[in-house]
Every structure is written in C-alpha cells, then in structure tokens.
Amino acid sequence: MPRLPDAAARHPLVFPDGTAHRQMVNLAVAIDHPNWRIGRNAYANDFDPPADWAARLAPYLYPGAPETLTIGAFCQIAHGARFITASANHPMDGISTYPFPVFDPEALPFYRDSFTGLPDNEIGPDCWIGHGALILPGARLGPGVIVGAGAVVSGEVPAYAVVAGDPARVIRSRFSEAEIETVLDLAWWDWPDDRLAAAIPHLAARDIAALAREKPA
C-alpha cells in the first residue's frame, strides 16, 4: 500500500540515498507562530531555505497582529510565493498614508480605526501556490485551487479553479460543478491516515467514483 509523507518530519521528502531534501519543509513543524493556522502535510519549498519560514512566507504577519493566515491541509507552496497580510497596509482613512504610529506609539489612537476588523487570509486544503505568486490581504482560496506562477491574487477564488495573471483571473475550472460538489463532500484531506493512504491511487487519477468508495464510513 502507498504511504503518506511523514507529517511529523521537518523535511518530508527523503531521497533514495536516505538524505532529506532540506529545501522543503512541513509547515506545521517548521512554523511556531500564533497567527498561523496550518493543516497537516502542508509544505513549502524554497531554493534558499530560511531560518524563519514564517517571516519568509508572510513577512508582515507579526505575532499578535489582528489577522490570521490559514494554510489548509496538503497545500503546496512553491519557491518565492508570498502572503501579504492585512497588517502590511498603511492607514488610508486620512489625508496621509504615512504610518506615524510605527514611529510614535502615542499617535496610535489617531489611527486605531484603521487597524480594526482586518481581513484574514485563508488558503483551503490541497491548494498549489505557484512560483513567485503573491497572495494579497484578505484573499480566500477554496479547496484545490491552483495559482499560476507570478500570479497576484486577491478576493475569493472558487474551489478547484485555476487562476493566473496580474491581477489573477480564473482561467478554467478543474472539474464540473457536480464533480466539485462531490469532492468537497468527500473532504479527503480529513480522512484518517489508513484510508487516505489507500486512496492515493485514486487521488492521482481522475476517478472520483473510485475515491468515493474509499470514504470512511
């Protein structure tokens, strides 16, 4: 039976000679940050692996910020992808966008309304974020979305859409509406390991009916 990658390993990809691929990490193992929510087996790859993966991927998301970044289970994040979270924004309600409170906390009361109700970023399970993609504040990607290399993504992206470009637009849907509804109902990313391992051949194919037969009772 096929086996799942080790969700507890920092480097889940191991080459045939036994050495770990250190450019790839399980995000849930590599990141300990109060504003991140990370599903199992979500990974990122970087040709220049950083010491701080949270800062590399979401450089404006500081601990205690009012927004969160959710990365769903089994997401795949390519080199150069970045998540620009809402705290990156400057105040835009007044005449100037200059961030005075960054330099003088006593000025914060004048800008407090600009830093409340900031939107979260939510990446659904099994999304593939391509090389150099930029995910903007408040973006919400449904399950199974593919983001093309260099795309600039904002707003809501429907489940199983393929998006590309700047600004990103939907190029096509990966499945029919009925198929999407079925796969979302199956929610395979939540299955226990033994059932999920058995389903790997079906996940690699396009036989949704075969996948459905593996669904846990």
DSSP label at 169?
E
Is 90 known to be catalytic? Answer: yes
| Contact in structure between 49 and 63 (CB atoms under 8 Å) | no
Extract the tokens encoding 11. 């480097």
| Contact in structure between 188 and 203 (CB atoms under 8 Å) | yes
Extract the tokens encoding 12. 């889940």
Output b/e per residue, 86-106; b: 16+ Cβ within 10 A: bbbbebeeeeeeeeebeeeee
- Altogether, the residues listed in the chain come to a count of 217
Q: Which of 33, 15, 11 is nearest to 24 (CA)?
A: 11
Q: Which of 33, 90, 131, 202 is catalytic?
A: 90
> How many CB atoms within 10 Å of residue 169?
12
- Which residues are known to be catalytic? 90
